Chains A and B, each alone.
Chain A
Amino acid sequence: NAGVTQTPKFRILKIGQSMTLQCAQDMNHNYMYWYRQDPGMGLKLIYYSVGAGITDKGEVPNGYNVSRSTTEDFPLRLELAAPSQTSVYFCASGQGQNYGYTFGSGTRLTVV
């Protein structure tokens, strides 16, 4: 099993550009999450989904959008990239609330 696959691994964006961070899981998990990790700040929840067609905002959703058309995929869209979005982004999936998550290996994004 591949688990949670994130692409790309690295990306440099210019201010104002847009991009989509891809996330796919092959564990048939209903719950999927996007977190960002900044040095010394832990992981902050951007968006989450409890199943196909259902998404909701987390702690830091501004500047991002998500969609969940299938159980497997949960892409994160950045519109009008800003330097404050420079971070490492992690996608995770889980079988339910109050269960452990499987994380992807992350996407390191730099906005210049």
Chain B
Amino acid sequence: QQQVKQSPQSLIVQKGGISIINCAYENTAFDYFPWYQQFPGKGPALLIAIRPDVSEKKEGRFTISFNKSAKQFSLHIMDSQPGDSATYFCAASSQAGTALIFGKGTTLSVSS
């Protein structure tokens, strides 16, 4: 019930295309859903986050879509660029919980 399941494990997208990464959760107490971006040799960096009172949040080319009834949320990267090539992690937490629980990550490669 504490897991966050992330898919796909890896993704190859053409430059200019749309990258979509999905996550699903079971714990209905989760109320904070961030996405992190990690480049090789670096620590994860917060990319965008959403709370369940909205169904979508957009920041530049990055959009989170949130479906509370399905217990799913996804990251969409529009006009994907080679510089977006990185590992992406979804995560979730609850106010009464301990810390963020992370998905296993998705390695995105954007080919030019």
Interface residue ranges, A against B (CB under 8 Å): 4, 33, 35, 40-45, 48, 56, 58, 90, 92, 97-106
Q: How far is the CA of A45 from the CA of B46 in the complex (A)?
A: 17
Q: Which residues of B contact A102 (CB under 8 A)?
A: 46
Q: Which residues of A contact B42 (CB under 8 A)?
A: 105-106
Interface residue ranges, B against A (CB under 8 Å): 6, 9, 31-32, 34, 36, 41-46, 49, 51, 89, 93-95, 97-105
- Shortest 8 CB-CB distances between A and B: which pairs? A103-B43, A98-B32, A100-B46, A42-B104, A42-B102, A43-B102, A48-B99, A105-B43
Q: With contacts defined as CB atoms under 8 Å apart, how many contacts are there between chain A and chain B in the complex?
A: 58
Q: Which residues of B contact A35 (CB under 8 A)?
A: 102
Contact A106 B46 (CB under 8 A): no
Known: A48-B99, A98-B93. A40 touches B45 (CB 8 A): no
Contact B43 A90 (CB under 8 A): yes
Say which residue of A40, A42, A48, A106 sits within 8 Å of B43 (CB atoms).
A106
Contact A40 B105 (CB under 8 A): yes
CB nearest neighbor in B for A39: B105
Known: A43-B44, A101-B46, A103-B44. A48 touches B105 (CB 8 A): no
